[in-house]
Structure 1
């Protein structure tokens, strides 16, 4: 089995840069830093696959279990033709800190298959998923590694994975994956959890910045699962959502966009193309719109040295993974723009995944109100700790979040010891 040190891959190389900055402030010794920058386990295997036409192809499957110090590995499975070992390793590295910063009893994991789900039938997707799951039966499980949906995978994918695993070990094991359909062990509140987490963190920091939610101008880049639910929840709390966007472009309405109307339009037309509830602008213009709160909830590396100084928001809440480059992050610090980093802002999803795992293991399922209340309690408690560390060390929230996450993992690792 190959062991590859984490490399700078796409946006997640930025995460490694943030790790190094926090590790230096913690004065992490070289030995511990070496342990934490190497994955515990990397798995690569072939997936021979027969199309509906009878033709054969071979895809590559990956699963990286980065760290087990705090518990079983946790992280999604992505189906995408561009998946590589280095990318999956970097994603698993990032999941280690994301779970730790919100104090979940998980390590980091990630997986993928080099297929393009948009070119596959449902039967073909099922065959690939079941073969992928079968290859991992010995190394996944509720106490080993708990996958979840990611790019190109869905609750149905998780249902197939769970069924395959259960068939192999001859008992029903709902807790082997999270993000499942509600009917077979999923959790209420999971679908909107990431967007809800974004809103919870934003509202909390708005109160610290003296931004009144009533009429506060909010701009959201991205109208997928995260952006749409965040927009709805901001609107419910009295905020004025003035800008939204998706792949078709951006839409601005200074008087406020009707979020429910936009949601209905997007569901009917599969995107916002042609939406008349706001003036059409570019995505670039959207990010530079005068507003109180900006939520990049679409793609990585959207805020760079090219546009950071033109951002006019008072508060930036990272709903997407890695929307801000390290260089832009430093510019925001100079400008006094408050940034709630992705590692905290979008952790609502993995937090409710943890709740799903807990419910599956107990065989008792919570009402949605209880899920939402526990989510808010967990996020606010850990965000308060980030705020405390940031003030104590005079650092940005992002650095404070990584410091907390690293310290939690290191503490667990030292208590357990290094078995050799």
Structure 2
């Protein structure tokens, strides 16, 4: 029987390998390997029919060595503690590699939000906020949206937390509505960051974005915004997918039309049809003939078997942990260039940091400024990662981990161990 994929084991394995390749002293390995706190909560919620259902939720705080804990909250039926531990660890590394003053955390609830009414979802969110309230806060731990959560859910968290504190606390979450202190440019930031990463890796190889054939797995916030922005820049989006299906068009998809169709939450790609479109499986999307593959769905999508069949030249990871360690080795052997998640999808946390700074200083920046600052931050990080890759003769993933680990360990060395 095949061993079940464990994302936390995956991230620890890559951490250990990166420390070996980067000749990093392992005296701090146990500290950066283990989360500082892992909280499991049980959430009784009154359903619309009068029954009571109990949901399991998590908040894992991996590290605050470099700043307050930071990380999104996801609602997904397959969410479990080990997944959240892995995601929190990746957040620590992500914040370090792009050099923002945050540590890493993550949260989640084991639920399929599509099975709940909006009223039930609101009650669940408020109960979860009540349960984790003692460990979050503007200067302690700042949640944000993730899979199946959005600005509305952040507004519920903000309101619940503020009610418990007896005052407005806009800095407790990021990714919230503009009217409640959200930042311009935040909603599209992760997808925009994926596009910036794509442009940077193409530019490194003296290639233009225009005309590149792109396949995107997942057309939610990250994949949808990446598709829209890449289309505007002249790339040819040949395949996209959602939870229901994938679609393909050799000559490129009409992205504006598809995005307009998907504005209705009930609309699914399985029902979308237009001239030249073929409905394909998720596996066929990953393996389709394209220049750039952007996995922007969930973890564990590109394993060893899938990696052998890919027909792309580049992978830019929009999701967290979409490629397994075994898959990575196959891609490297095949010469497929991969921009890793902790760099490629860091746009969301970078602009979350900008939002948090604006809240603390009671300021509002315009969207052009936010986007310019985002591009500058990611470009500097990309240069550092490429330089480390060349110095250590390793993949961009290993280089990104080496850069991040060194920053985290240096901060811990400077602080020392308490008490």
Q: TM-score range by the shorter chain?
A: over 0.9
CA contact (8 A) 1:262 1:275 kept: no
CA distance in 1, matches of 2:298, 2:184: 27
CA contact (8 A) 2:7 2:83 kept: no
Measured at CA, do residues 287 and 83 of structure 1 come closer, stay the same or move farther in structure 2, by a change above 3 Å? closer
CA distance in 2, matches of 1:370, 1:214: 25
- Secondary structure in structure 1 of the residue aligned to 2:133: coil
More deviation in 326-335 or 368-377? 326-335
CA distance in 2, matches of 1:272, 1:12: 32
User: How far does residue 396 in structure 1 lie from its aligned partner after superposition?
Assistant: 0.4
Does 2:399 match 1:403?
no
More deviation in 374-383 or 55-64? 55-64
Residue aligning to 1:56: 52
CA contact (8 A) 2:199 2:208 kept: no
Residue aligning to 2:303: 304
Measured at CA, do residues 314 and 112 of structure 1 come closer, stay the same or move farther in structure 2, by a change above 3 Å? closer
CA RMSD of aligned residues (A): 2.0
TM-score by length of 1: 0.92
More deviation in 213-222 or 352-361? 213-222
Measured at CA, do residues 183 and 380 of structure 1 come closer, stay the same or move farther in structure 2, by a change above 3 Å? same
1:260-409 aligned within 5 A: 260-268=256-264, 270-273=267-270, 274-277=272-275, 278-409=277-408
CA distance in 1, matches of 2:286, 2:108: 31
Residue aligning to 1:229: 225
Structure 1 gaps of 5+ residues are 1-7
1:19-418 aligned within 5 A: 19-268=15-264, 270-273=267-270, 274-277=272-275, 278-418=277-417
CA contact (8 A) 1:219 1:294 kept: yes
More deviation in 122-131 or 350-359? 122-131
* C-alpha distance after superposition, 1:294-327 (max 9, x if no partner): 2122232222222323322221111122222211
- Secondary structure in structure 2 of the residue aligned to 1:59: strand
TM-score by length of 2: 0.92
User: How far does residue 49 in structure 1 lie from its aligned partner after superposition?
Assistant: 2.9
CA distance in 1, matches of 2:142, 2:5: 24
- Secondary structure in structure 2 of the residue aligned to 1:365: coil
CA distance in 2, matches of 1:40, 1:402: 20
Measured at CA, do residues 56 and 213 of structure 1 come closer, stay the same or move farther in structure 2, by a change above 3 Å? closer
User: How far does residue 218 in structure 1 lie from its aligned partner after superposition?
Assistant: 1.8
User: How far does residue 348 in structure 1 lie from its aligned partner after superposition?
Assistant: 0.9
User: How far does residue 82 in structure 1 lie from its aligned partner after superposition?
Assistant: 4.0
CA distance in 1, matches of 2:337, 2:398: 13
CA contact (8 A) 1:9 1:86 kept: no
CA distance in 1, matches of 2:245, 2:56: 34
Residue aligning to 2:11: 15
Deviant stretches of 4+, over 6 Å = none
* C-alpha distance after superposition, 1:128-158 (max 9, x if no partner): 3223222333321111000112233322221
More deviation in 33-42 or 20-29? 20-29
User: How far does residue 250 in structure 1 lie from its aligned partner after superposition?
Assistant: 2.8
Aligned residues: 413
CA contact (8 A) 1:148 1:177 kept: yes
Measured at CA, do residues 153 and 220 of structure 1 come closer, stay the same or move farther in structure 2, by a change above 3 Å? closer
